[in-house]
Structure 1
Amino acid sequence: MVALTGVVLGRVYAGGLLPRLVIGAAVGSVLVSVAARRLPSWLVAPLSVAGLAGFTAWSLRLSADAAGLSGSLADVTADAARNGIPRLLTAMIPVEPTPDTVLVPLVAAWLAGLAGAEVALRAGRVLLGCLPPALLYAGALYVVGPNADPAIWPTVAFAAVAAVGLAAPSRGPGPSGPDPTAGLAPGVRAAVRVRLAATTAAGLVVVVGLAALLGPVVAGRVDDRPVDPRRYVEPPQVESLDENPLIRISGWALNPQQKLLDVTTRRPGAPADAPDPVPTPAGSTGPGSGDGGRSVRIRLAVLSDYDGVTWRVGATYRNAGRILPATEPAPGATVETVRQEITVADLSGRLLPAVATPREVSGARVAYDPQTGTLIRPEGLTPGLRYTVTSAAERPDDNLLGMADVPAGDEVARVLRVADGVPDPVRRLAAQLAEDNGAPYARAAAIEQFLAEHYRMVADAPSGHAYPNLGFFLFGPRNAGGQRGTSEQFAAAFALLGRLTGLPTRVVVGFRASGDGPVRAGDAYAWPEVLFSGLGWVPFDPLPRPDDEPRPVEEDFRPTPEDPPPSEVPEPTVGPTATPEPVAGPGGPAEAGGPSTALLVGVGAGGTLLLVVAGLLTLLLMRRARTRARLERGDPGQRIAGAWREVTDALRLAGRPVGGDLSASEVAAHAGRAVADAGPPSIPAAGAAPAFVPAAGPRKTGTAPGDLGARLEELAGLLNRTAFAPGTATAEQATRAAATATDYVAALRAGRPWWGRLLWSVRPGPLRWPR
């Protein structure tokens, strides 16, 4: 009966290793009880536990070797004990038999065999002895849930074995022996037999009654779908850093030489000059269309959800083994195997880069989302992590794209959803692009060509892909920074315009690699994909060619004049409306008694000056209130975070912004270099006399109380402490953090020109910069 539990549970496992191990646990536990039936009962449990320990250790080593996992037996056992149940309930079907997914079934099977054998053999209660295997069998059915076909023949076999066990005569002592009335007086024997018959009849009535009551209920639930216990267990999640990796594009673009990965790719059976396995549609104008086909596209994340403010991953990851679920390729598609050996350098987070679509992973424990074909490492990426991925790179048939349709309905509503608040010019542009392009692929190609021909790609464009950001990217004046962006804005604009024209779209973040060698931050970029019926997701490249000069948007798109301005241009200065000067009549000057022109000009100039002064004073007071609220209000952790925001705002005001991918220590080092470059003003430390004077040679931080560089590093450490250990910061530390921020802002401001120092406190940027 215990062995049949392994058969039922093995239906959701890959291969036959788990059923064999469960059968071994069943046989071993029962044999220990049979061999020790002559021993005292208190000695059986220690002997069986010792056997369980030995069998479990051997089974974990066997499953670890079969899964290709490294590490000592102690480490493997400890990890399996800590994470066995959650990984079993979050593992992807079919479950790979690894130590953490076989430990719980093995221990449960051994304990059920021990309990059932002891009760049935030693106490002679066969019916009660069937209870542990029955509970184990029910638990296996519950764990499998709707993820396998109904277990009909194992259940019939289980019931048959139980019936045979109950029908077999018991040889043990007690009331279940051959004749419980042997040795009794005839009168007593008759009374006992009557009592036994009455008890049997009462039990039979209860059993028949329960069958009559529960039978219809059970029969009515036969066609119901079993409950999946996995819905009660939260699967592995991405970090907040990985929820929207699209915002990391700008930070990477500002540090293009930062090495993120080392990649080596191999294409078994392909010649050395094989074409790019990454599917690129015919007519693409972005990168990869003219690179000779030697590069590969490594995918990091797929973003399917857009709420008008940000794109998000929204994937559901399940723990997976080395072999990942395979899907049927699209009709006519070319599938090529690409093997990648990847070593992590400075890439952080949990998202695991790989060429689409991964089929086998070794060297790292992963979780997988079949809908997007992306991977994460639940433990997070660490420098030096090395893993191997074998992917099936699929290229659709270009001849079918022109006639392909796009799906619709609830199944793709997620990738067709457009949140409220789309700017009118964006809607009109989408309508204009779709007006002369009826076929879905023609619409996608028109959007791709429009973006590639009219916009410029730059590395220093600010991050952002909300509706206002995309409106400014598409229609903002060029002399104010509009019509230029990173691949973030190109991909997000394509995806939004595509959805407005009825195309199911999503945004993908990844890297363009040469095939072998380092992958740097400058290789990171985003691209859009469109879902075509029968062909799957097809990537597009709306990025312009490097040497092409973009054409003005106004040549091909003219908003109607009655509409409001289509971009976020700076707000005009509020001033008095100009009054037309009275026209002098033929007989002389303007009508007597009216105000003179000089008076009108004077009043207008005075009013404008008052408005400007009032506006500057308001900005000054708001900036000071913001600083005071950051440094003086809230608990120590909030004040430390406020001091850090003062430092980063000062860097932006000084034209030395920091990228979003830098750690706190790296930002502190960047801030120290910024104040060193600004000039030699002396800023005392809080309560100390020494000043921060940049040295000509290498600086040593932390050697003196007045070293502002060391104080910045201390502030970065306090920030990390409040993030990873909330509530541990003290008021004294918050006071030191506020003093450090104040001194640093003063030092950075002192290095500005005189006009820069005047404008420093009234610039409105810190009031509107997002946090």
Structure 2
Amino acid sequence: MGRGPAVVTVTDAAPARDDAAPDGAGPGGRSRRTVGAVLRAAPVPLALVAMIGLAGVVLGRVYAGNLLTALMWGAAVGSVAVSVAARRLPSWLVAPVSVVVMAGWTAWSLRLAARHAALPGGFGEVVADAARNGIPRLLTAMIPVEPAPDTVLVPLVAAWLAGLAGAEVALRAGRVLLGLLPPALLYGGALYVVGPNADPAVRPTVALAAVVALALAAPGGRSGPAGADPTAGLAPAVRVAVRARLAATAALGVAVVVGLTALLGPVLAARVDGRPVDPRRYVEPPRVESLDENPLIRISGWALNPDQKLLEVATETSGGPAGEQTRIRLAVLSDYDGVTWRVGATYRNAGRILPAAAPGPGQLDTVRQEITVADLTGRLLPAVATPREVSGARVAYDPATGTLIRPEGLSPGLRYEVDSVRERPDVDLLATADVPAGDEVARVLRVADGVPEPVRRLAGQLAEENGAPYARAEAIERFLAEHYRVVADAPSGHAYPNLSFFLFGPRDGGGQRGTSEQFAAAFAVLGRLAGLPTRVVVGFESRGDGPVRAADAYAWPEVLFSGVGWVPFDPLPRPDDEPRPVEEDFRPTPEDPPPSEVPEPTLEPTATPPAVAAPGGAAGERGVPVPLLVGGGAGGLLLLVGAVLGALAGMRRAQARARLERGDPGERIAGAWRQVTDALRLAGRPVGDDLAATEVAARARATLAEARAAHTAPAHAGAAGEPTGGEPTAGRSGTVGGAAAVGPPDGPDVDELAGLLNQVGFAPGTASGEQAARAAAVATAYVGALRDARPWWRRVLWSVRPGPLRWRR
């Protein structure tokens, strides 16, 4: 009886060893089992890596080069490999370990991207900037996107986190389908970021679907611990049956997915918009200030300081004659509203490589320049047209105009290199070339309302005498060069009244002379009136290597010809040519006499007043004596005008008292501020709602300084509109952007009033009566000082202007 159990035990154990033998008995069998487990577990990690890598392939289509794609593949492999290697660690420890490895990979990738983009500054500064601006710069970057630290940081971190989450859910928890969701979301995010900026990602999407199907069909793709065999422990026959059933189920599932895709895919695709949404439309691109939006107003200031060093330039040119002067472009101005020429650009952050436009039929020269900034200010970045690569400075670019800016602004000592492709138009095609028309060029053909009739007639005369577009452009160029004079001290301004005075004003009163600002603006306006698409370019003329000074700054017009491109013209007269009187070739009609005095720069278009018909018939036909009729009518008219003016003056005084004396302290401070802004508007310097109180205060100081300077200038210079000082002032610009060039004058402290207004706005109820009284005193003193700085007849009209009574608040 004692031996029975032992025999049974030995007999029962033998089949177990026999069962195990086919799977590999001994060390060799264990090795084969380990290899088999690894092979069964490999499809899911490989699928995760492939899905994340495919997301990098999709996103890399809008990047320059393959650096981003390679870095995302590296993040995919690294994140999944860390999870696989740490599968025996506690689950709470895997994420910290993976994040530490991610930090190392990201730091190495950012250093590689910074070196690839040739960014200036230390590595810590570059990383901090990338962390602050990664998302907005990714969505505002120019296509193709430069793989710089700020444009690769977000994709790299997202790829690593997707790999970490997917591997932990699929491998550790055994939820393969759920584990494939993070890489799938990453892929969808990549498609969304690319938007309509690349061709449809058909092949990567098909590859992604195939990878998902294989991951779900593979043995390691079923639920359960990673690498676990669901048939382990079963009898051989049962094991074979289960495996066959699982394979059939997987094959059926794949067939169903493929069939549904084939059947429903076209139907769903037909319901989707053909053009995906571009997420860049939700992010505001970099903006510029008024001086950068209209650098044309800086020409007169530079002309008065010709020795001011703005840039230092070293040039290498392949092609073109040796020693040729090079035009360095600062900005292209395409929009004109009758008052101001503006760039009107939409800037996108760009890397070193800029998008290349289709070359024209002319000769192409390659120009490489190393530029060092000296006294040039603003954000506009000078470069020879058309820039293709910029290194040494982070830039934003407008491909429509070819204008570059540095969002951080220029600073003395900034050094950068620009590789440009300069196009030389084929002059043999110009004589017969036409000009384009339609919506694509409507921007450079638009003529704002309010064109003075003499200007319109001059453009019509030049167009009638010259039929072909190029002949019209040459006629305008020749007319300006033969009849007008270039002077350095001409006042700034290119609104319609300024151009009318430049073209037809009396010579002895300051007319018919100007800087390149008036020549270029007049050419562009006359060209558009003659049916030519025109624009104005502001830049510098470089005479080889060396400094570029303020005397080298000038503006020139360009005309767009079909099949040729933009062609520059030079309407400036030769230095030794004596201009002919305008009246020799163009005579205004008697009802439109030429301007007799310089118009003040304005911020709003000036409409031409309608002509008043002379009364017909003789007054004495009814027997009333003519002197009595004239005297009575004049007296009645004077009484009526006096009554109206007195009423207006009384209403204005009542309005000022109500603002400064009624209400609580906060309301009185706000009323004092309205007095200041109304005074600026009366002085022709209105302020917009987009300006902060401190900016308005700076504008007010500048306006008062300009008015005082004009008031104290010699009478003959004031009448001719000629500046008298040697330094440029914003008052000559006629725009708000010039305010920054004028220092604070001695006078009322408008900054104190701005501070009180901010206090009322951000801390309501905290203002005291003393502060309100102080605000009223500052506003009254400022309005009085600004009024006293005006000419006597403007001081008379100041108090009876009805504008403040009707201006909206």
TM over 0.5: same fold? yes
**The one of 531, 534, 539 aligned to 1:505:** 534
**The one of 672, 686, 691 aligned to 1:639:** 672
Number of residue equivalences: 697
**The one of 66, 80, 85 aligned to 2:116:** 66
Give, in angstroms, the shift of residue 408 of structure 1: 2.2
Partner of 1:333: 363
CA 396–209 in structure 1, closer or farther in 2 if over 3 Å, else same: closer
Give, in angstroms, the shift of residue 709 of structure 1: 8.4
1:528-677 correspondence to structure 2 within 5 Å: 528-560=557-589, 564-565=592-593, 636=669, 639-640=672-673, 642-643=675-676, 667=702
1:85 aligns with 2:118: no
Report which stretch shifted further, 76-85 or 623-632.
Answer: 623-632
Q: Which residue identity does 2:118 align to in structure 1?
A: G
> Matched residues in 1 for 2:671 and 2:140: separation?
36
Partner of 2:332: 302
Partner of 1:317: 347
CA 528–632 in structure 1, closer or farther in 2 if over 3 Å, else same: farther
Give, in angstroms, the shift of residue 210 of structure 1: 5.7
Partner of 2:736: none
Note if contact 1:298-1:356 (Cα within 8 Å) is conserved in structure 2: yes
TM-score when normalising by structure 1: 0.75
Partner of 1:276: 325
1:132 aligns with 2:179: no
Partner SS for 1:388: strand
CA 666–715 in structure 1, closer or farther in 2 if over 3 Å, else same: closer
> Matched residues in 1 for 2:754 and 2:577: separation?
45
**The one of 758, 777, 780 aligned to 1:739:** 777
Give, in angstroms, the shift of residue 514 of structure 1: 4.7
Q: Which residue identity does 1:308 align to in structure 2?
A: G
Tell which structure's C-alpha radius of gyration is larger.
2
> Matched residues in 2 for 1:616 and 1:232: separation?
52
Partner of 1:229: 279
> Matched residues in 2 for 1:724 and 1:514: separation?
54
> Matched residues in 2 for 1:108 and 1:414: separation?
41
Q: Give CA-to-partner distance per residue, 1:64-99, whole Å, 9 cap, x none.
A: 122112333332222212211221122112111100
> Matched residues in 2 for 1:768 and 1:449: separation?
43
Report which stretch shifted further, 551-560 or 23-32.
Answer: 551-560
Q: Which residue identity does 2:342 align to in structure 1?
A: R
1:71-470 correspondence to structure 2 within 5 Å: 71-170=121-220, 174=224, 178-179=229-230, 211=261, 214-220=264-270, 224-250=274-300, 252=301, 255-256=304-305, 259=308, 261-268=310-317, 274-277=323-326, 297-345=327-375, 347-348=377-378, 350-459=379-488, 461-470=490-499
CA 256–745 in structure 1, closer or farther in 2 if over 3 Å, else same: farther
**The one of 715, 722, 731 aligned to 2:750:** 715
CA 551–230 in structure 1, closer or farther in 2 if over 3 Å, else same: same
* Structure 1 stretches lacking a partner, 5+ long: 278-296, 583-590, 653-659, 679-707
Partner SS for 1:299: strand
**The one of 518, 538, 542 aligned to 1:489:** 518
Note if contact 2:707-2:786 (Cα within 8 Å) is conserved in structure 1: no
Q: Which residue identity does 1:43 align to in structure 2?
A: L
Aligned-residue sequence identity (percent) comes to 67
> Matched residues in 2 for 1:724 and 1:739: separation?
17
Note if contact 1:491-1:527 (Cα within 8 Å) is conserved in structure 2: yes
Give, in angstroms, the shift of residue 471 of structure 1: 3.5
Partner of 1:587: none
Q: Which residue identity does 1:526 align to in structure 2?
A: A
CA 638–347 in structure 1, closer or farther in 2 if over 3 Å, else same: farther
> Matched residues in 2 for 1:398 and 1:212: separation?
57
Give the alignment's Cα RMSD to 1 decimal.
5.1
Partner SS for 1:537: strand
Higher helix share: 2
Q: Which residue identity does 2:152 align to in structure 1?
A: V
Give, in angstroms, the shift of residue 740 of structure 1: 4.6
CA 525–764 in structure 1, closer or farther in 2 if over 3 Å, else same: farther
Give, in angstroms, the shift of residue 59 of structure 1: 1.0
Partner of 2:721: none
TM-score when normalising by structure 2: 0.72
CA 580–261 in structure 1, closer or farther in 2 if over 3 Å, else same: same
Q: Which residue identity does 1:380 align to in structure 2?
A: G
Partner SS for 2:354: coil
Note if contact 1:329-1:335 (Cα within 8 Å) is conserved in structure 2: no
Partner SS for 2:87: coil
Give, in angstroms, the shift of residue 107 of structure 1: 0.7
> Matched residues in 2 for 1:711 and 1:409: separation?
54
Report which stretch shifted further, 100-109 or 232-241.
Answer: 232-241
> Matched residues in 2 for 1:347 and 1:404: separation?
39
* Structure 2 stretches lacking a partner, 5+ long: 1-49, 600-608, 686-694, 714-742
Give, in angstroms, the shift of residue 58 of structure 1: 1.3
